[in-house]
Amino acid sequence: MKIAMVGTGYVGLVTGTCFAQMGNTVTCVDVDAEKISGLKKGLVPIYEPGLEAMVVENSHLGTLKFTTSLKEALVDAEVCFIAVGTPMGADGSADLRYVLKVAEQIGENAVRPLVVVDKSTVPVGTADQVKAVIAAGFQKRGFKGDFWVVSNPEFLKEGAAIDDFMKPDRVIVGAEDAKPLAVMRELYKPFTFSHDRFIEMDVRSAEMTKYAANAMLATKISFMNEIANICEKVGADVNKVRVGIGSDSRIGYSFIYPGCGYGGSCFPKDVRALEKTARDVGYTPRILSAVEAVNADQKKVLPTKVVARFGDNLKGKTFAVWGLAFKPETDDMREASSVTLIQDLLARGALVKAYDPKAEGEAKKHYWPSEQALTFCSSKYEAASGADALLLVTEWKEFRSPDFDELAKSLKNKVIFDGRNQYSAARLAELGFEYYAIGVGK
């Protein structure tokens, strides 16, 4: 099948590359000429395990192409995916300007019957807007071709996106006609061959499913963080509580790990967007509001623990921060807890030495391009050297079992603040460390 993929961000590039891997001919479109030029040379602008090799392989095979011209991509396309960004507006709503701009260009340039797929995470009712914009473009130029707009939300986890796409839990497609459903079922057949995970529904339900899924996962995280905070107050250990409740099959262990808050490009934005949608239709989303409020407070837990231990004025103190990305196996720092932590430490006069195996470039480019009090280190032990305390923020594998003897020699004070509850309090106590975890009462 011939596919146009508009947007070469995280979702668009992964989706287009995976479709090309199955033999489809995919043309990825982006207005960023520099990015397109780099992709043609095999330079992938994001870190995702396995993605770069697949991009290079399929580019060489000719099944994956890159261009800045949507008109060019639409000449042969049977399906056109809209996978552009929907950044959060000041009021929490999803900004649809880029989605509707693509719809406008489709209306101006489509030359054959076309299935238009909303892949971007968009509010309920967006497909209707996209359809209206395309229809207006067709009418303006007197083009009478058929087109259909469907919703196909993505459920990719950063750091595991290739596996998620190749072996999906579910493929959700919302459509109002049999024709586009048949096209989408055929397109996804290689990915759902062993188990039929293709779920059909109406467009608005498909649009809602994406928001509901992310809001549910965010709710589990905030709920467990709230339980952790209560555990600290009453002298309980949230790690033991987690095991106790996770053994209930109705609850399970996924997304009930306490920590210093969720981040990334999806959960924060989608919870706020769904909250805004609810308020727009006259409903007060009390749970969603609480989920977001708990998460915002949770990002302040580590700074609060640092102040409790070292005092409000941190001038003359140096802190090692392990992890900058919002989660392991990605370089994405959007809404990351590390940003809240480091900004707080710097504001109190501290020096910070940070290490992340993948996100240093993002940190320098988007957050701290010239911060004198922040040093980026090339290893975790370099970051720890001479620091008054270590703060673990992102649970990268290389942080799970460090050499604590080496840490004891490197740190000025044997103090660890663990924002992801990765270490054994008993073991660290034996080694003479002060250990501060999330949700563990003293």
Query: Hey, which residues are catalytic here?
Result: 266
- Contacts of 143 by beta carbon, 8 Å cutoff, 6+ apart: 110, 111, 137
Largest Cα separation within the chain, whole Å, is 79
What long-range pairs does 23-27 form, CB within 8 A, spacing at least 24?
Answer: 23/63, 23/190, 24/63, 24/187, 25/1, 25/62, 25/63, 25/65, 25/76, 26/58, 26/63, 26/64, 26/65, 27/2, 27/3, 27/65, 27/66, 27/67, 27/72, 27/73, 27/77
Q: Per the structure block, which two tokens stand in for 102?
A: 């693509």
Q: Residue 199 forms beta bridges with which residues?
A: 172
Over its C-alpha atoms, the chain yields an Rg (Å, rounded) of 24
- Contacts of 111 by beta carbon, 8 Å cutoff, 6+ apart: 74, 75, 143, 145
Phi, psi of 341 (to 5 degrees): -60, -55
How many whole angstroms separate alpha carbon 216 and alpha carbon 222? Answer: 10
- CB neighbour class for 233 (10 Å; exposed up to 12, middle 13-18, buried from 19): exposed
Number of other CB atoms surrounding residue 179 within 10 Å: 12
Q: Per the structure block, which two tokens stand in for 264?
A: 């990334």
Q: Cα–Cα–Cα angle for 250, 256, 257, nearest 5°?
A: 150
